[in-house]
Structure 1
């Protein structure tokens, strides 16, 4: 596909990725009260990132996004486990949650729960695992194609 004009793809991708990421954030924050949460929010974020990789190419995106997604996995697992263990501090069972209403500067009167912290761990883990798998498969496919061209 070298030499093709993919201006329409890149332009629409730029717009669509912001919509997907916005919806992903909405799903993440809605997760402790309504359907959604860290898992589906993480999948939506990974989908947006994959769309960027497909549209702009892996070399370009590796220069733009200098993140090793493998690091997201242990960070997410650590957040999830520490959230669950935090209940032990208050002599509660593992993964017990608490919630309250807070007055936040921009958001106003908001409901926050410790389940959101657990969802944050799930979110990071899902983004890390999904992107690692997809980018690994894409790298293997790229090496196969390169060996066919050279061989």
Structure 2
């Protein structure tokens, strides 16, 4: 197996081998020149598919229109206030469960879905969602804004 540690692929520098695997290949921890210090890339993507920069660079180069995952978190989604077209409550992460006639609240963070409970009224579900946003997104966005200050603008 080829050791990629220290090798340069465009803006990416391979930092270390991880225990993660992608299609039986090694996933490497890389650092990008844009400041993204935690970007994971499979060997095959570095060697055969021409990956030379992180998603943050791709996002910046494409005017912020592509998904950017930092620490398994989609930055664009959590920073956005956009309501998806299939949403009927007008609040992200809140919907009416038709069979039980209760309002369900949930939040997604780091590629996991957290159930915030079922509620008799919409206001309680919205309150649960807003509290969860502060809990999950608040400190993460503070860290992100400090770590990537002026690098994604």
Fold in common (TM above 0.5): no
Which structure exhibits the higher relative contact order, with contacts defined as CA atoms closer than 8 Å and separated by 6 or more residues?
1
**1 or 2, which has the higher helix percentage?**
1
